[in-house]
Amino acid sequence: MAVLKCGRFDIDLERPRIMAIINTTPDSFSGDGLGHDIDGALRRCENAVAAGAHILDIGGESSRPGSDSVSEQEELDRVVPLVERLADWPVPVSIDTVKPAVMRASLAAGASLINDINGFRAPGAIEVVSGSDAALCVMHMQGEPRSMQAAPHYDDVVGDVIDFLDRQVRALEGRGVARERILLDPGFGFGKTLEHNLALMRALDRFLETGYPLLIGVSRKSMLGAITGRAVGDRTTASVAAALIAIDRGARIVRVHDVAQTRDAVAVWEAVRFETS
């Protein structure tokens, strides 16, 4: 049985898991940011769990293309109070951050997973997370959110992304992080053109060959807008389809805005995929 060690949780990855996106930013690309509205964020978390989310992913800094970073203190103020309120919930709480100080404070507040779009490259990041028991998602990003979509270029997008993830995994394991704590994310939309994103989706089997489970996030992203011609708020169908394609190609966790719709699609997929007694 494939199990992800995630703080006080052991997550069974034999079947796909749904990670709900909870934005505490005022400027989320998808228009669902909550800012400092902790009560609103808690209601959204409750609704996500009721809809079928297995993990809650809390983000306090927008990573949409062209976005600017926020101060360390501002991000702490946005996420730590929410993590503290969620610490005793029966689902793991993930923190989407690139800042070691936010990682440290969130772990102390009860977070079970650190989801780093920067792949733990910030000075001190590996030192902060290696001594914890949290799960760690290593994502690939070319450049930084402010400029990553200006002119992304790769000699071999699949090979380059795999090489980067391998280097970061080696760095983590070199500091004592058990492989059962590690997830990989190719980073759809983070310094990639539509062609790059499609090449990565087609090649998920090559990422599976690394032996680490995959977390995939394509929900409402511009790649889906480019394919369908639909605006951000009208990409639910495309998002569910992309999540299901990723699952069918081996992804174990999908990071989504539309939990209930994704849950229903996964339920149908599982009914066909798995025999029940």
Q: What is the pLDDT of residue 30?
A: 43
Q: What is the pLDDT of residue 22?
A: 95
C-alpha 60/C-alpha 193 separation (Å) is 25
C-alpha 202/C-alpha 255 separation (Å) is 18
Low-confidence ranges of the chain (pLDDT < 50): 28-31, 277
Q: Per residue in 16-25, is it b (16+ CB within 10 Å) or e — as a string?
A: bbbbbbbbbb
Q: What is the pLDDT of residue 148?
A: 57
- Predicted TM-score (pTM) of this structure: 0.93
Q: Which residue has the tokens 């005793």?
A: 88
Query: What is the rounded average pLDDT for all residues in the chain?
Result: 92
Sign of CA dihedral 198, 203, 205, 208: negative
> Is 7 within 8 Å of 129 (Cβ atoms)?
no
The residues pairing with 59 across neighbouring beta strands, listed in sequence order, are 23, 96
Task: Please name the residues in contact with 137: beta carbons below 8 A apart, sequence gap of 6 or more.
Answer: 94, 113, 114, 115, 116, 182, 183, 184, 185, 215
Q: Which residues does the annotation mark as catalytic?
A: 221, 255
pLDDT tens digits along 49-91 = 999 999 999 999 977 766 677 899 999 999 999 999 999 999 9
Q: What is the pLDDT of residue 216?
A: 98
